[in-house]
Amino acid sequence: MCCGKFSAHLVELVGLRSFADYYPNRLSGGMRQRVGLGRALAVDPAVLLMDEPFGALDAQTRDAMQNALSEIWLKTKKTVLFITHDIREAIFLSDRVLVLAGRPSQIALDLAIDLPRPRSRHDASFQKKEQMLELALGGDASGTGDADGAPATPEKSAPH
């Protein structure tokens, strides 16, 4: 595939065909994230490392990007190492979730996410996985604190 066709393929893959001729300053935050994802895919990596890539996006754009990444994964089957502190995001995007705790960090929980794709955040089995991770973290579903609102700590999230 020549460069022009490959670029067009990537633009299509990340859902920006209608915006291919736009200058970067005319793109929204979510569109810029899609461009970044396309750039990462352009080098055809064996593993795609994504460290909190959607953390700065608003909730609606974040959901859209999660859906887009899920669709891209279904098409490319790339290995993705996705780092997040968001339980729902981890379950929605992953086949396996590792919870790290302690200093130095160690794997406190290794949970298989064996839910069919495409996934629904409202499905009972999705919510069951969410509750399992919530309990493992000793807090709420956001992974940011316990039931009393106190921050989650490695001691609380480590298995006993």
46, part of any domain = yes
Q: Is residue 98 domain-shared with residue 124, that is, in the same domain?
A: yes
Q: What pLDDT does 30 receive?
A: 86
78 contact partners, CB below 8 Å, separation of at least 6: 41, 45, 47, 48, 72
Q: Are residues 29 and 59 in the same domain?
A: yes
Q: Structurally, how many domains does the chain consist of?
A: 2
Specify whether 4 is located in the same domain as 75: yes
Q: Are 121 and 99 in contact (CB under 8 A)?
A: no
Identify whether residues 9 and 70 lie together within a single domain.
Answer: yes
Identify the bridge partners of residue 97 per DSSP, sorted by sequence position: 111
Residue 40 within a domain? yes
Please indicate, yes or no, if residue 160 is contained in any of the structural domains: no
- Same domain as 68, residue 24: yes
Reported residue count of the chain is: 160
pLDDT tens, the chain, 160 aa long: 667 788 888 888 888 999 999 999 999 988 998 899 899 989 989 999 999 999 888 898 889 889 989 988 998 899 999 999 999 999 999 999 999 988 999 999 999 999 999 999 999 999 999 999 998 888 655 545 444 444 444 444 444 4
Cβ-contact 78, 48 below 8 angstroms: yes
Residue 98 counted as domain residue:
yes
Same domain for 129 and 94? yes
Both tokens of residue 128? Answer: 């069951």
Record the pTM: 0.76
**Which pLDDT score is estimated for 13?**
84
Alpha helices (H) in the chain, listed in sequence order = 3-13, 29-42, 59-76, 87-93, 124-137, 154-157
In this structure, is residue 156 part of a structural domain? no
DSSP state of 120: -
Pair (1, 53) in one structural domain: yes
Query: Residues 50, 52, 56, 58: what is their CA dihedral angle, to the nearest 10 degrees?
Result: 90
Residue 74 and residue 94 in one domain: no
Residue 115 sits in which domain range? 84-139
Structural domain contains residue 5: yes
- Indicate whether 98 and 135 sit together in one domain: yes
pLDDT of residue 96: 96
Decide if 155 is inside a domain. no
The reported pLDDT for the residue numbered 149 is 40
